[in-house]
Amino acid sequence: MKNNIVLGVTGSIACYKACEIANLLAKSGFSVSVVMTKEALEFITPLTFRHITKNPVITDMFNTPDEFSPVHTSLADRADLILIAPATANIIGKIASGICDDILSATVVSSEAPVILAPAMNEKMYENKIVQENIKKLKSLGYKFVGPIKGALACGHTGIGHIADTKDIVSEAKNILSEKKKKA
């Protein structure tokens, strides 16, 4: 039986890395359901992820599904793991505050699956005290983080905030699913 991974994609230039992550996960035999925020749609289209994963891409909590199912809870129920890459300061803040105003945040809050976040943002945003408190809060609740790393940022500077290497992100997902399987 395939593990089901929900891959959350948020509005960051690092969206292109989410394509590589989806590809690596799918090639590793995982079923990948991509959930994109409306901001992510400004960077990349759902068609790319649909082609990579061979699964429908969810972009809106209020789209009419082919068969009735409250999308956010049905996704949450099926998820063995939720991986958000890239994870912006916005989604980190929403999850830390329990805000459910889009399909991704609602899915995370309604799931009991482990969650990994791979932050990607400007260095000043990442180092902001509020963002750091949100990360600290989520870590204390059992959320896992991979990165960010020091690297080239969209603003043209080099600093902390660059999304972690895709292989490291996928490796962490595999490790968590392996640990989860051992406990079952």
Positive or negative: CA dihedral 72, 78, 85, 179 = positive
Instruction: Note the pLDDT tens digit of each residue in 81-105.
Output: 999 999 999 999 999 999 999 999 9
**In this predicted structure, what is the pLDDT of residue 68?**
43
Q: Do the Cβ atoms of 43 and 61 come closer than 8 Å?
A: no
pLDDT at 69: 52
Q: What angle do CA 170, 16, 50 make, to 5 degrees?
A: 80
Place of tokens 């949450």: 76
Mean per-residue pLDDT, 142-150? 96
Percent share of the chain, pLDDT over 90: 80
pLDDT of residue 1: 61
Domains observed in the chain: 4-183 (3.40.50.1950)
130 pLDDT more than 70: yes
| Catalytic choice (15, 19, 100, 155) | 155
- Would you call 100 a catalytic residue per the annotation? no
Taking the CB of residue 155, how many other CB atoms lie within 10 A of it? 12
Q: Which residues, 6+ apart, have CB-to-CB distance to 49 below 8 Å? A: 7, 9, 18, 19, 22, 34, 36, 57
